[in-house]
Amino acid sequence: MLECKQIEKYRFVWTLFDNLNLIQTYGINMEKFPHFIFAVQEKYNQYQNPYHNYEHGINVLHATYLFIKTTKVMEHLDEFDNLCLLFSALMHDINHTGKTNGFEENSFSNLAIQYNDISVNMSSIIIHLSKVLESHHVATTFKMLRKKRLNVFHRLSYQ
């Protein structure tokens, strides 16, 4: 049974995406969205990090939403930009270890060995990710989206 607080957080996240009409516009699957959000919460809280946890992800999501709604930035953005901003705000620190990039690199952690100073080629776009944790957050997000039950964007085309 889900505790009430979890459901309230889920509804809050849903509402922010829905208020910008992103759920309907991009066909975000209403059945997969709860599974995805609860998986995001689990990944954020895996290390029991007192700061970079699910609440932090929601706070950044909310701040980004308010920035979009209360400034003139919408004059320069389309709905897809808004989707990307909200999604990246939510996911930006997912599965954070609670350590700094410097600690990860200097301690030769498993993450540092896996992600230190790599480039990722994503459909003709090369992104150079020189920070261990940022690479880990991106990889964690893509791994989650590769799971059929969590891929809330399965209806989007690759164009």
Asked if 22 and 87 touch (Cβ cutoff 8 Å), the reply is no
The catalytic residue among 35, 52, 92, 128 is: 52
Is residue 137 flagged as an active site residue? no
Distance in angstroms (rounded) separating the CA atoms of residues 4 and 118:
41
Beta pairing partners, 127: 120
DSSP 73: G
Continuous segment of H or E residues that includes residue 120: strand 118-122
| Owner of token pair 């599965």 | 95
Just list the catalytic residues.
52
